Structure 1
Amino acid sequence: MLKKISLEQLQVRMYVHELCGPWMDSPFWKKSFMVDDQATLVKIGSTHFDAVWIDTAKGKDVALAALAPPPPAPQVAAKDAPKPVPASMDEEMGRAARIVDKSRQAVMLMFNEARMGAAVDVDNAQDLVEEISASVMRNPGALISLARLKSADDYTYMHSVAVCALMIALATRMGLDEAGIHEAGMAGLLHDLGKAVTDPDILNKPGKLTDAEFAVVRQHPVLGYDILLLANGVSPIVLDVCRHHHEKMDGSGYPDRLAGDQISLYARMGAVCDIYDAITSDRPYKKGWCPAESLRKMAEWTNGHLDPVVFQAFVKGMGIYPVGTLVRLESGKLGVVVEQQVGKSLLKPKVRVFFSSKSKAYIAAELIDLARPGMQDKIVAHENPEKWGLKDIDRYWLNGGATAH
């Protein structure tokens, strides 16, 4: 039986009979195919199609998908997950900036304590995680996006802040209770503490690491675990994520080569959040990938590296086009995604347009709500700023882009 569904209803193991749009615009060479994995699902989601026809005789039905068992819940999961208090991007940006600055200083202090051989005081981190959590609950895009903007000097510290915020957002999306969300945030904040005692010349080397240097870097999860063992008030969950956030589902990770169910849910979450922030951030040896491109790359790694259920929850939280992504609209306008919209399509965020791909010239910056009733424009694809000679595109979601070009 053929059934037309929205793109948001499409799931793995559904059989696509036809995409609702010109076949020539499809990234697939076949008209009909099975959605075998998360990578295929994300690839479809990155197109401008908004509906598909599925064949329920050959694959999963919508009703059956709704009745499918949920992903394994952690022991701390409960029904009373805290509800976010919404705030606009503009409303939250100032508060988020202050929290980010405070968090950077606190993480720097903890790293210095570890570097000096002193027992790390994690008490201050408890309150810090609460502040980060409150900001993420109000508007996850603000703090998460700000934490992605790092300098070479503070990368390691800001990476910890970013992973903390990402873990909180993901834990909320996966239905953890308040205690579980807090544990996830603490784990994100402390997951890379072992890098405090890792040679900084190796960590910041502007080039490919030698085998010997990579072996040194691979020691940081165990080093961090050992440091946290000596601290007071560190939970088993935080210790576990610190030690195992580089494990892979196929058993090829480190340091303990855990596989599948041997890896805790929190460590699987840590792996997703750690990788996303690492590949979207500028490093001494590489330019960060576009957020949307990063999600597409990560989707390919769900076959053996990342947990596909956790990754799917992560994508639904971040959006197909996360804040900061340069996109091209059907009208030919280029713009930066400035805000995801709770309860609305992942394909219809708010976008601040500022450039015309047709005239190859800047235009007056304008905020467009793609989910507004009657809106005809839509995202066609994400774009590489270098292709269009665009620089400093972050200013369009940071301050409204009202400055002169």
Structure 2
Amino acid sequence: MIDSSERNLILKISQEITDISDIDSKRNLSRNVRLPAQNTVPPASMEGSTIETCHPSIRLGHVSASAISAARFTCFWPGASRRIRRENIDMIKRIAAGELRIGMFVHDLNCSWVDHPFLFNRVRITSARDLERLLQTGVTHVYIDTTLGADSQPGNERESIEREISIAMNEAGSRGASLLPNRPLGEELQRARNIHRETQALILQLFGDARLGKAPDLERIEPLVERIGLSLAANAGALLMLTRMKDADQYTFQHSVAVGLLLMRFASAAGYGADEVARIGIGGLVHDIGKMFTPDSILNKPGRLTPAEFDLIKRHPGDGHQLLSKARGVQQEQLDITRQHHERMDGRGYPDSRTASEIPAVARMAAIVDVYDALTSDRCYHRGIPPTLALRRLVEWSGEHFDTELVHRFVQCIGIYPTGTVVELVSGRIAIVTDQTASALLAPKLLAVYDSKKRRTLVPTEISPDGSGQLPDLILGVTVGSKWGITPEDFL
């Protein structure tokens, strides 16, 4: 845990780099600033300084490694930056939805796109109708950009909120992975590919039957779920990395498979027994079966949904629950997941507007996993964001939307840098995350494959934490593999 003095140091460090939103600028900053190497420097004297992250062996007085790690992670992707670009986050304010007025520019609706009918999370309020529709989504707080629209009374600047999120992420990240692999990723990957392919084919068949009004034969899923469990136990990174590979025209089926696999992993990490994990996994695999009653023209609409269309979308949990209740051998967990995966802790979800105490734990877990996969997936109207940034959003929305403790457990479950994530290192090398470690989620195992300075491929080199749990070449931030001509699957 990070104590109060370390927390203050993190905030001071963060203050110096809040305007650094792109990786190139952060790289320049890390080269220009040095951290004193003597143990006599107290945290108070760090005023106006930042940490040189190139030297993980440095110790600073009574400031622990977790504080240094937290400060490093604060440098990573201040939240106003979405696609590795700079933005003036000083002009981004968080305000209550009730303070919105015509003329304001909403920079971020502060909720997943699956929870609102707008085409983008950014929208200009030009009419009373726009304002009414936005308030009807149930959002409680939004971010406005005062450089693009009207200002409001002083709000909570995004910068300070992002620092708080970084601290929360690091409290989770200071611990190791909750479940470690017992088989190398490369050895497990082929089995995972076969299982993933078979699971997608079966879910496609069952959902096709649902279109005809036929309840799913859940017994057909059970043998596959058993094999999924074995693969996840061997090396969860293999299957979970494959869940991020989706085709736009088969998103609903592939999303359901991803939620099922992620939910099984989550349930195992949370301590559920094997039989319970299997039941929960089946619930995840069929959680969106109600969408088979929603017209494809609405599910895949590239433009903004009308209120009537969004109302149709919101029917799918109830439609799925009704169909699933007719299935032979259906379990209560599966019914709860299907009906309640869009419920929210503050009672603003659907279809029943349940509050925290009324939502079963498995449905709370499904809500987290459902939004995580939606955020990280590309759609015709939504470009997926990196897994690490999606986890930050879940942390930000916890309390109001999601169970805070379960969100932190989910971060521990899949890692701050999930397997397959492409990262840039302080040295300029580009690496792929290959596994989580027992030391800390901020120090996963890596495979360096590209030199961004010399613009050339490298002989793949493994990088693992040293004896103190630190990486010898620290992670500067996430990047996009396509920018460097890298497809992670080709190296794993």
TM-score, normalization by structure 1: 0.78
For residues 265 and 308 of structure 1, the distance between their equivalents in structure 2, rounded to whole angstroms, comes to 12
- Does residue 24 of structure 1 match 2:43? no
Q: Which residue of 1 aligns with 2:490?
A: 399
- Does residue 352 of structure 1 match 2:343? no
Counterpart code for 1:132:
I
1:302-359 alpha-carbon deviations (Å, 9 max, x no partner):
1311111111000001111112322121212122222223x23211112222333334
Contact 2:169-2:395 at 8 Å conserved across structures: no
Contact 1:38-1:308 at 8 Å conserved across structures: no
1:104-163 alpha-carbon deviations (Å, 9 max, x no partner):
111011101111122321111122211111111111111011021010122111111111
Q: Output aligned runs, 1:159-238, within 5 Å.
A: 159-238=255-334
1:163-187 alpha-carbon deviations (Å, 9 max, x no partner):
1111111111111112221122111
Structure 1: runs of 5 or more not aligned? 1-8, 30-36, 52-61, 63-82
For residues 428 and 462 of structure 2, the distance between their equivalents in structure 1, rounded to whole angstroms, comes to 14
1:276-326 alpha-carbon deviations (Å, 9 max, x no partner):
111111112122111111111221111311111111000001111112322
Q: Which residue of 1 aligns with 2:474?
A: 378
- CA gap 1:369/1:84 in 2 versus in 1, 3 angstroms: closer
Offset at residue 384 of structure 1 (A)? 4.6
Q: Which residue of 2 aligns with 1:362?
A: 456
> What is the Cα-based RMSD across aligned positions, in Å?
2.8
Structure 2: runs of 5 or more not aligned? 14-34, 36-45, 52-70, 79-159
TM-score, normalization by structure 2: 0.65
- Does residue 44 of structure 1 match 2:167? yes
Offset at residue 39 of structure 1 (A)? 7.0
Contact 1:159-1:278 at 8 Å conserved across structures: yes
Q: Which residue of 2 aligns with 1:78?
A: none
For residues 362 and 353 of structure 1, the distance between their equivalents in structure 2, rounded to whole angstroms, comes to 12
- Does residue 252 of structure 1 match 2:252? no
For residues 253 and 224 of structure 1, the distance between their equivalents in structure 2, rounded to whole angstroms, comes to 16
For the residue of structure 2 that corresponds to 1:363, the secondary structure is: strand
Contact 1:144-1:165 at 8 Å conserved across structures: yes
For the residue of structure 1 that corresponds to 2:476, the secondary structure is: strand
For residues 365 and 199 of structure 1, the distance between their equivalents in structure 2, rounded to whole angstroms, comes to 49
For residues 330 and 46 of structure 1, the distance between their equivalents in structure 2, rounded to whole angstroms, comes to 20
For residues 340 and 293 of structure 1, the distance between their equivalents in structure 2, rounded to whole angstroms, comes to 17
Offset at residue 92 of structure 1 (A)? 0.8
Counterpart code for 1:278:
A
For residues 385 and 217 of structure 2, the distance between their equivalents in structure 1, rounded to whole angstroms, comes to 34
Work out which of the two has the higher radius of gyration on C-alpha atoms and give 1 or 2. Answer: 2
Offset at residue 87 of structure 1 (A)? 1.1
Which segment is superposed worse, 173-182 or 233-242? 173-182
Counterpart code for 2:224:
L
For the residue of structure 2 that corresponds to 1:215, the secondary structure is: helix
For the residue of structure 2 that corresponds to 1:16, the secondary structure is: helix
For residues 180 and 436 of structure 2, the distance between their equivalents in structure 1, rounded to whole angstroms, comes to 14
For the residue of structure 2 that corresponds to 1:24, the secondary structure is: coil
For the residue of structure 2 that corresponds to 1:355, the secondary structure is: strand
Contact 1:348-1:369 at 8 Å conserved across structures: no
Offset at residue 380 of structure 1 (A)? 2.1
Counterpart code for 1:399:
D
Offset at residue 363 of structure 1 (A)? 2.7
Contact 2:333-2:362 at 8 Å conserved across structures: yes
- CA gap 1:171/1:14 in 2 versus in 1, 3 angstroms: farther
- CA gap 1:353/1:225 in 2 versus in 1, 3 angstroms: same
Contact 2:463-2:472 at 8 Å conserved across structures: no
Identity of aligned residues (%): 35
Contact 1:195-1:220 at 8 Å conserved across structures: yes
Contact 1:350-1:367 at 8 Å conserved across structures: no
For the residue of structure 1 that corresponds to 2:434, the secondary structure is: strand
Contact 1:327-1:337 at 8 Å conserved across structures: yes
Offset at residue 10 of structure 1 (A)? 4.3
- Does residue 154 of structure 1 match 2:154? no
For residues 383 and 189 of structure 1, the distance between their equivalents in structure 2, rounded to whole angstroms, comes to 30
- CA gap 1:384/1:96 in 2 versus in 1, 3 angstroms: closer
1:81-118 alpha-carbon deviations (Å, 9 max, x no partner):
xx987111101100000001100111011101111122
For residues 304 and 15 of structure 1, the distance between their equivalents in structure 2, rounded to whole angstroms, comes to 27
Offset at residue 40 of structure 1 (A)? 5.4
Counterpart code for 1:162:
A
How many corresponding residue pairs?
346
For the residue of structure 1 that corresponds to 2:417, the secondary structure is: coil
For the residue of structure 1 that corresponds to 2:431, the secondary structure is: strand
For residues 108 and 328 of structure 1, the distance between their equivalents in structure 2, rounded to whole angstroms, comes to 37
1:195-228 alpha-carbon deviations (Å, 9 max, x no partner):
1121111111123222221111111000000000
Contact 1:39-1:299 at 8 Å conserved across structures: no
- CA gap 1:196/1:367 in 2 versus in 1, 3 angstroms: farther
Q: Output aligned runs, 1:18-167, within 5 Å.
A: 18-19=9-10, 23-25=49-51, 26=71, 27=74, 42-44=165-167, 86-167=182-263
Contact 2:451-2:458 at 8 Å conserved across structures: no
Counterpart code for 2:219:
D
- CA gap 1:331/1:105 in 2 versus in 1, 3 angstroms: same
Contact 1:46-1:381 at 8 Å conserved across structures: no
